[in-house]
Amino acid sequence: MKEIKISAPFDMHLHLREGQMLINVLPYTSAVFPRGVVMGNLPIPVDTAEKAIKYKSEILADDVTFNPIMTIMLTRNTTPAIIREAYNHGIKVIKYIPEGVSTNSEYGVPLNKLHEFYEVMETAEELGMILSGHWEAPFNINGNPIEELCREEEAIPFLAAIINCFPKLKIVVEHASTYGMIEYVKNAPNTVAATLTAHHALLDYSDVCDKTGKIIGSDLYCKPIAKKAIDRSAVLQTMISGNPKFFFGSDSAPHYAENKKRTPPAAGIFTAPVVMPLLCEIFDNNNALSKIENFTSRFGPKFYGLPLNEGKITVRREKWTVPYETNGIKIFLGRRELNWKVV
Ligand SMILES: [Zn+2]
């Protein structure tokens, strides 16, 4: 196949940041993805309808062609009334990120405190909202850090508790990165789905850290961290399997180069400029190009209850070299040659 023409894709997990960074990165997403779920874990979290509306208008001021699906972050201040108010303003997604797990998670509710927010969950369930969560446990019950490779699977019991208590609540497991979590989602009720990233289908832990756990690839450092070969293979095989519970969310997370160079580096990889060509390579290399449209453009909106995007995009088999950086932001796979290009 020389080119594919598919229904315009959705990015169901996206970090656009604010201010100049937003201006710098949004065009890379909006050129390919007309819609995306914009994460509300900013340094000052988007945790009220008012803040979400303000953030939405900032995004639209940069690019009216992009249609952001806004989220409201679950923080220690969240109440059922705040959730209801957000819903009444068209916000259907609650972003959950546990405290201390990744960039801008300082205001998140720890996993072991989630039970204090069950009235919030109840309201979300009643309204038909979606709980989109970063399911990783950074600390054990004694408050000591859990090894990064185990954090996702350690969060499964907390996730299971929510699923059991709120059988009608739609839950998204963001960036499932382990065999164990993927198997869990496959076997969970149909109210539970997961997003998969391109980079977790490509990277191994050994690309990011040495045997002692020291970070050797700061540009590739993200949360959840890239895992073992068995996990990478599970992400890839699930992505191309055609299972509607799994859809695309890039988790494109830009940082300025100086923040990637510090110790420890800022967690996140800026994949938006390359991610659609990269997915084409992954699907093409695995003889699964016919399944890419479902993964990028249909399963996500179906789970969210959204109409498909109008319009199509064309991706062509054409070599190009990825720029190293843009406005001081390192691009994933910079200087590498890719075989597919969005035209
Ligand atoms: Zn994220």
pLDDT at 197: 98
Are 225 and 149 in contact, with CB atoms under 8 Å apart? yes
pLDDT at 237: 98
pLDDT at 100: 84
pLDDT at 142: 86
pLDDT at 85: 98
* 47-52 contacts at long range (C-beta below 8 A, 24 or more positions apart): 47/72, 47/73, 47/74, 47/75, 47/77, 47/78, 47/82, 47/107, 48/72, 48/82, 48/85, 48/86, 49/82, 49/85, 49/86, 49/88, 49/89, 49/91, 52/86, 52/89, 52/91
pLDDT at 102: 85
62 has catalytic annotation: no
Residue with tokens 């690839």: 217
54, 59, 63, 64 alpha-carbon torsion, rounded to 10° = -40
Task: Tell me the CA–centroid distance for residue 2 and ligand 1, in Å.
Answer: 33
Residues of the chain under the 50 pLDDT cut = none
Q: What residues are paired with 139 via a beta bridge?
A: 145
pLDDT at 101: 86
Listed residues: CB within 5 A of ion ligand 1: 251
CA distance 259 to 262: 5
CA distance 40 to 16: 9
pLDDT at 236: 98
Residue with tokens 């405290």: 99
CA distance 196 to 131: 16
Are 272 and 324 in contact, with CB atoms under 8 Å apart? no
CA distance 325 to 334: 7
Confidence (pTM): 0.97
Task: Tell me the CA–centroid distance for residue 104 and ligand 1, in Å.
Answer: 10
Catalytic residue among 63, 219, 251, 284: 251
